[in-house]
Amino acid sequence: MSVQAEILSSNGNTDVFVLEAHAATNNVYQAQVITSFDWFTDADKIGLTGGLTEEELDYMELIDFDEDGFLDDAVIKLKSTQAILGVVLNADDFVLEGEFIPIVSTKPPITCLQKVNIVSCNSSNVD
C-alpha cells in the first residue's frame, strides 16, 4: 500500500475549495487546509475570495504538512505579505497552476449547496 501514498483523492465530484482571503495567517497550522484536491480526475478548483487572483499568489513552497514523509503539500501564500492563505495536500506548483478561480463572495458558491469538502462554505454565507 505504501506505493499509493501519493494517490489522488478523487471523490467523483468537481469540487471548488474556497480559500477565504481574510483568513490568511502567518501560522501554517492555522491556515485553511485542502485535503482532497484532485485536479486530474475530478478537475477540482480552488476558489479565491476578496478579488484575489492567481497572479497574487506564491505557491512554490512545498512542505510535509500531513507528515506522510513526502514534501508534497503546497503552501499558498500572498506575494504581497507572505501570509499563508492555505495548504493543499498532495499538490505542487505544477498541479496548482491555472486551477484558481475567482469567487464573488456576495453569495455562497453554488457548489456549496450540494457538495462536500468545501473548506469554508459557512463563513462565506452572506445574504
The contact set with Ca ion (CB under 5 A) reads 11, 13, 15, 38, 42, 44, 64, 66, 68, 70, 72-73
In this complex, which beta carbon is closest to Ca ion, that of residue 11 or of residue 50?
11
Position closest to Ca ion via CB:
42
From the CB of 8, what's the least distance to Ca ion, in Å? 9
Cα separation, 115 vs 96, in Å, equals 21
In this complex, which beta carbon is closest to Ca ion, that of residue 80 or of residue 94?
94
Handedness of CA 105, 48, 69, 25 (dihedral sign): negative
As a whole number of Å, the end-to-end CA separation of the chain is: 46
In this complex, which beta carbon is closest to Ca ion, that of residue 20 or of residue 72?
72
Q: What is the CA radius of gyration of the chain?
A: 14
